[in-house]
């Protein structure tokens, strides 16, 4: 690896004083690194990152801001990396290691002892470097001081937080921290000498005059800051760049050895092969024999190719239209057009993220790369429990370092092992891991939180922006987010639009007003008349392509699958429900009952089982209050029994003759299951339509001949409300979850269908009209509902305004005008954004809850894993030692969130935590117990029961966790 013929920063030509300035010190070995060497290392790494790792999409954005284009962009990136630690050439920094400071004093740089330098905390070396660079640009290159800040702030922010105005003012008022008053000229001479050397070595000395009038856009400042952070982290790794003494390699040898050891996967270079949609989908996805590309999928490909420029694409289509595959195919084309080097798919939950991960991998294994010899692509599963995902851990093993390089540059390769063909091409790279670096991988699947964190004022926010700025971003289930989360999503979209990131938004049911909000956020604000159709179109399915210079809209046909659903009011009475199900399923059939709360799921299942008896209709439950392995098996079981015929056959199962599944919202989306009859609590209309999508989802014989005769017409019974009241009254639990406004407007738009027994809801034709009416501004429902609807609307608007106001507390500002420096960019932020429950609560308006790891306490007092687990079930757990790694991992996988009722009151929550901590196994808190340290463990007795903070808990494999108040 070379410096492109430019003179490297080195000791030759530098004064003794400049050579004596130190940058790194290891207290254990007393090894150290001179500043000139770290400057050279950082510059070299930045150049290689720019050439081989930064996606073209980012390089184009930076180049577009500079008069010399691509050449200027590279020079600027390398120079900023070279100079980021200039602030270490100051008394405030150098005094920290006395014997190294003595060497600098001997070379002519006077400085007091560390204890003699008051207010040293005012001069962190990043901020000091920013001020030194600014002074150098003003005094030696004739810049105006305001023009310098937009460049120098990169040095000021390279530790994750750009400085604030008060920080800059305070340091300016203490000049002795930058130049010792006994020898200011000597210090300034060395500072200028190092900065001059960097400018010459990086080829910017001749360009600074042309850059004086540049107004650097904030997105460019952010990306350059992130690049410098990464270059600094790599160049600061002593395993890659050893400290003195003993280092004798030349600059190119040192850089080349480190780069080969790091072995960073290069970005994807997408290529639009030009295939017609049929051929494209056949080559990328596992399509059933004889399957045709859906019109929505074909149109998504066409729009991706014909949009004026890559921008925002919103795909609205009913369930079962293959929106995910459409998004990935569009992403491939948009990446080829934009220069994106990867893709991130954001989903509502960890469960949906885990389900998507293997689908993304299957797509990647078939994805072409235009770069010859592209090698492995880096992959990341972005959520807090990724380490428990088996497929991801395989890729982690594949991504461990594959070569050892000795000090003489000789390379000794190890085999990656027999991890399969996928592991040879897809790896979770050893350096690209953790909450700050993982998302920098080329391809990622994760929760929506990972995207929303890009709108949260937090430390190292620039890295999160770099992670998404080089990708195509896919946002699935866009309708699933409330006003609080949408505040973050909208702000992130405004930054993605400024970066030129292609975004694909997927939704089955999206209100037109929300569609327009998404488009306006992406393009930077309210647009002109050309954007009017975005908020007015009522076609369905609908594809909307939006860029700053125009809109493309397409209304493809839905696929041939259509379902007419008869809807019926049904009393909220468990006895009546049991009798009705017995009647409806007398000739066979499978029914799905969806409740809005887990408590109602439990009560319903208990009553139905008692009614049907042990030999009657089987009743199973599905909800979120299971430990993670059980919930995953429940989902797999639902697919094996009620999924597509091919899936049922693959699982070696047959569809039950009669069965009732009682579920919470987990059955609402992402599971491709099919039922003959649906009973559902009243819910917002978009969610009701999602639930109806589980009715007659698959063909099941010509004319539905394989369904019981009585159930060949799809029917949905809507319950969970007092329909006899003058205005329907939803049950309390539903009001707590969704609010009265959405529930009443849902009931209002469904009223014509509920009132006429033979008027069906036609899917998909009625989806968009119902959603637009329910979420639109016009009055709905009978006149005598008006007062109740108005009251609910006012409460809803107040709550929505409150959510948006609370979201503002840590919400990142919008994109400022070009030339406005990043000073104060994350002022009053949250510190580190962490993918923990508390961290996710910063971007979700979620009720506080608590996760526990569930084990069993046997009669003799010993602890064991739960007996029914497929892996390590019933294994004894040591009480005085850290469990073996595999066993500890099994325990860590058995996470479960306690219900809200146990955590709502702060005093109750404190008591829960106190009692769980009292049961803590001290040995499991050891540092080496990384799977278990810091976790709360709930130990159930032999009967799977526990008493905690006044609550009785009972967990069963069949029903999950039941909670009741104790005596």
24 and 150 share one domain? yes
Enter the tokens of residue 545: 């392509």
726 and 870 share one domain? no
Interatomic CA distance for residues 556 and 562, integer angstroms: 15
Return the pLDDT at 425: 57
pLDDT tens figures, 923-941: 999 888 888 988 999 999 9
Q: Evaluate whether residue 269 is within a structural domain.
A: no
* CA 797 to chain centroid: 28
Inter-CA distances, 323 with 112, 314, 327, 330, 855, Å: 66, 10, 6, 10, 40
Q: Evaluate whether residue 705 is within a structural domain.
A: yes
Interatomic CA distance for residues 322 and 284, integer angstroms: 13
740 and 882 share one domain? no
Coil, strand or helix at 396: helix
Domain's final residue, options 203, 236, 259: 259
- The answer to whether 695 and 703 have CB atoms below 8 angstroms apart is no
In the structure, what pLDDT confidence band is assigned to residue 418 with cuts at 50, 70 and 90? very low
Enter the tokens of residue 222: 């952010």
Domain that holds residue 729: 563-763
748 and 860 share one domain? no
Return the pLDDT at 441: 93
Q: Evaluate whether residue 814 is within a structural domain.
A: no
Cβ-based neighbours of 765, under 8 Å, separated by 6 or more:
540, 558, 562
Cβ-based neighbours of 403, under 8 Å, separated by 6 or more:
260, 261, 263, 411, 412, 413, 414
Q: Evaluate whether residue 452 is within a structural domain.
A: no
CATH number for the domain spanning 649: value is 3.40.50.300
In the structure, what pLDDT confidence band is assigned to residue 835 with cuts at 50, 70 and 90? low
From the list 679, 682, 774, 678, the residue with the least C-alpha distance to 722 is 682
852 and 756 share one domain? no
- The answer to whether 86 and 129 have CB atoms below 8 angstroms apart is yes
In the structure, what pLDDT confidence band is assigned to residue 2 with cuts at 50, 70 and 90? very low
pLDDT tens figures, 421-431: 333 357 778 88
Return the pLDDT at 377: 87
pLDDT tens figures, 507-539: 988 899 999 999 999 998 776 777 888 988 888
The pLDDT of 945-952, averaged and rounded, is 94
Return the pLDDT at 7: 54
Burial class (CB in 10 A: 0-12, 13-18, 19+), 114: middle
Interatomic CA distance for residues 74 and 4, integer angstroms: 11
Cα-Cα-Cα-Cα torsion 620, 626, 629, 635, nearest 10 degrees, comes to 40
Given a cut of 90, whether residue 825 has pLDDT beyond it is yes
Q: Evaluate whether residue 148 is within a structural domain.
A: yes
570 and 710 share one domain? yes
Return the pLDDT at 461: 96
Domain's final residue, options 763, 798, 816: 763
Number of independent structural domains in the chain: 3
**What DSSP letter does each residue of 51-83 carry, written as one string?**
HHTS-HHHHHHHHTTSTTHHHHHHHHHHHHHHH
The pLDDT of 304-313, averaged and rounded, is 95
For residues 86-102, one letter each, b for 16 or more C-beta atoms within 10 angstroms of the residue's C-beta and e for the rest, the string is: bbbbbbbbbbebeebbe
- The answer to whether 151 and 80 have CB atoms below 8 angstroms apart is yes
Interatomic CA distance for residues 532 and 894, integer angstroms: 50
In the structure, what pLDDT confidence band is assigned to residue 433 with cuts at 50, 70 and 90? confident
β 411-413/403-405 pair status: antiparallel
723 and 861 share one domain? no
720 and 577 share one domain? yes
Among 60-69, 699-708, 709-718, where is mean pLDDT lowest? 699-708
32 and 163 share one domain? yes
Greatest extent of the chain over all pairs of C-alpha atoms, in Å: 98
From the list 565, 876, 887, the residue with the least C-alpha distance to 714 is 565
pLDDT tens figures, 733-779: 999 999 999 999 999 999 999 988 789 999 988 999 999 999 999 99
Q: Evaluate whether residue 756 is within a structural domain.
A: yes
**For the chain, what percent of residues have pLDDT higher than 90?**
71
Q: Evaluate whether residue 871 is within a structural domain.
A: yes
In the structure, what pLDDT confidence band is assigned to residue 967 with cuts at 50, 70 and 90? low
Return the pLDDT at 399: 63
Strand partners for 94:
none
- The answer to whether 149 and 131 have CB atoms below 8 angstroms apart is no
Mean pLDDT of the chain: 89
Domain's final residue, options 763, 778, 811: 763
Enter the tokens of residue 693: 């999508």
CA angle (714, 355, 698) in 5-degree steps: 20
Enter the tokens of residue 922: 């001290």
Return the pLDDT at 8: 61
Q: Evaluate whether residue 318 is within a structural domain.
A: no
Return the pLDDT at 376: 81
Return the pLDDT at 108: 95
CATH number for the domain spanning 158: value is 1.10.3210.30
């Amino acid at each position: 690896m070379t410096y492109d013929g430019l003179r490297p920063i080195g000791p030759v030509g530098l004064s003794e004083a400049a050579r004596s300035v130190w940058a790194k010190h290891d207290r254990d070995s007393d090894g150290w690194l001179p500043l000139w060497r770290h400057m050279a290392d950082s510059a070299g790494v930045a150049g290689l990152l720019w050439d081989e790792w930064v996606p073209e999409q980012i390089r184009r954005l930076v180049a577009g801001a500079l008069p010399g284009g691509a050449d200027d962009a590279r020079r600027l990136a390398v120079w900023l990396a070279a100079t980021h630690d200039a602030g270490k050439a100051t008394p405030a920094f150098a005094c920290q290691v006395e014997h190294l400071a003595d060497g600098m004093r001997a070379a002519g740089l006077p400085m007091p002892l560390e204890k003699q330098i008051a207010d040293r905390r005012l001069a962190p070396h990043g901020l000091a470097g920013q001020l030194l660079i600014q002074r150098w640009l003003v005094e030696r290159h004739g810049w105006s001081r305001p023009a310098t800040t937009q460049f120098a702030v990169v040095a000021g922010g390279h530790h994750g937080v750009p400085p604030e105005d008060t920080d800059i003012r305070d340091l300016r008022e203490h000049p002795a921290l930058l130049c010792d008053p006994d020898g200011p000229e000597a210090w300034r001479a060395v500072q200028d000498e190092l900065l001059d050397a960097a400018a010459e070595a990086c080829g910017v000395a001749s360009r600074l005059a042309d850059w004086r009038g540049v107004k650097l856009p904030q997105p460019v400042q952010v990306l350059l800051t992130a690049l410098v952070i990464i270059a600094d982290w790599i160049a600061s790794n002593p395993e890659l760049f050893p400290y003195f003494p003993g280092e004798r390699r030349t600059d190119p040898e040192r850089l080349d050895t480190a780069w080969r050891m790091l072995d960073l996967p290069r970005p994807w270079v997408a290529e639009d092969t030009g295939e017609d949609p049929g051929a494209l989908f056949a080559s990328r996805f596992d399509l059933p024999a004889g399957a045709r590309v859906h019109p929505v999928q074909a149109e998504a490909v066409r729009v991706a190719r014909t949009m004026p420029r890559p921008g925002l694409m919103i795909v609205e289509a009913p369930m079962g239209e293959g929106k995910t595959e459409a998004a990935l195919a569009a992403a491939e084309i948009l990446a080829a057009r934009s220069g994106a080097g990867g893709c991130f798919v954001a989903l509502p939950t960890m469960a949906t993220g885990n389900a998507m991960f293997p689908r993304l991998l299957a797509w990647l294994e078939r994805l072409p790369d235009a770069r010859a010899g592209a090698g492995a692509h880096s992959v990341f599963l972005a959520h807090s429990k990724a380490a428990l995902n088996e497929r991801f851990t395989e890729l982690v093993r594949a991504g461990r370092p594959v070569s050892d390089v000795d000090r003489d540059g000789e390379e000794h390769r190890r085999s990656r092992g027999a991890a399969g063909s996928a592991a040879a091409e897809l790896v979770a790279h050893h350096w690209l891991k953790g909450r700050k670096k993982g998302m920098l991988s080329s391809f990622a699947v994760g929760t929506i939180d990972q995207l929303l964190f890009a709108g949260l004022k937090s430390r190292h926010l620039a890295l999160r922006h770099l992670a998404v700025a080089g990708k195509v971003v896919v946002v699935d289930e866009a309708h699933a987010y409330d006003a609080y989360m949408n505040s973050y999503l909208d702000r992130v979209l405004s930054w993605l639009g400024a970066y030129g990131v292609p975004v694909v938004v997927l939704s089955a049911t999206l209100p037109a007003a929300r569609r327009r909000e998404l488009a306006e956020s992406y393009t930077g604000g309210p647009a002109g008349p050309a954007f009017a159709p975005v908020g007015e179109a009522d076609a369905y399915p609908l594809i909307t392509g939006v860029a700053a210079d125009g809109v493309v809209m397409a209304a493809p046909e839905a696929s041939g699958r259509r379902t007419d659903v008869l809807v019926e009011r049904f009393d909220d009475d468990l006895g009546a429900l049991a009798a009705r199900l017995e009647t409806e399923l007398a000739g066979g059939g499978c029914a799905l009952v969806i409740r809005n709360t887990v408590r109602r799921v439990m009560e319903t299942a208990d009553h139905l089982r008692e009614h049907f008896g042990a030999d009657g209709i089987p009743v199973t439950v599905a909800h979120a209050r299971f430990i993670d392995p059980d919930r995953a098996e429940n989902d797999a079981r639902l697919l094996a029994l009620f999924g597509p015929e091919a899936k049922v056959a693959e699982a070696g199962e047959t569809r039950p003759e009669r069965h009732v599944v009682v579920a919470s919202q987990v059955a609402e989306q992402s599971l491709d299951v099919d039922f003959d009859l649906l009973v559902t609590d009243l819910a917002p209309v978009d969610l009701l339509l999602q639930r109806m999508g589980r009715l007659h989802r698959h063909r099941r014989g010509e004319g539905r001949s394989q369904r019981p005769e009585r159930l060949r017409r799809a029917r949905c019974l809507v319950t969970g409300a007092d329909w006899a009241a003058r205005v329907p009254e939803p049950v309390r639990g539903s009001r707590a979850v969704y609010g009265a406004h959405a529930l009443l407007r849902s009931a209002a738009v469904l009223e014509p269908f509920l009132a006429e027994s033979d008027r069906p809801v036609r899917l998909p034709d009625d989806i968009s009209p119902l959603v637009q009416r329910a979420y639109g501004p016009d009055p709905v429902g009978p006149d005598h509902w008006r007062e109740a609807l108005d009251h609910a609307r006012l409460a809803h608007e107040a709550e929505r305004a409150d959510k948006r106001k609370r979201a503002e507390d840590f919400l990142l500002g919008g994109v400022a005008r070009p030339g406005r420096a990043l000073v104060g960019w994350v002022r009053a932020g949250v510190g580190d954004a962490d993918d923990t429950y508390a961290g996710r609560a910063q971007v979700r308006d979620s009720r506080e809850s608590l996760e526990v790891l569930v084990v069993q306490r046997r009669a003799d007092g010993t602890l064991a894993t739960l007996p029914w687990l497929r892996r390590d079930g019933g294994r004894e757990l040591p009480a005085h030692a850290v469990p073996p790694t595999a066993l500890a991992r099994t325990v860590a996988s058995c996470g479960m969130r306690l219900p809200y009722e146990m955590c709502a009151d702060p005093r109750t929550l404190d008591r829960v935590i106190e009692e769980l901590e009292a049961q803590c196994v001290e040995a499991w808190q050891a540092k080496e117990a990384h799977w278990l340290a810091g976790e709360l463990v709930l130990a159930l007795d032999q009967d799977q029961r526990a008493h905690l903070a006044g609550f009785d808990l009972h967990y069963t494999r069949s029903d999950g966790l039941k909670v009741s108040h104790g005596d």
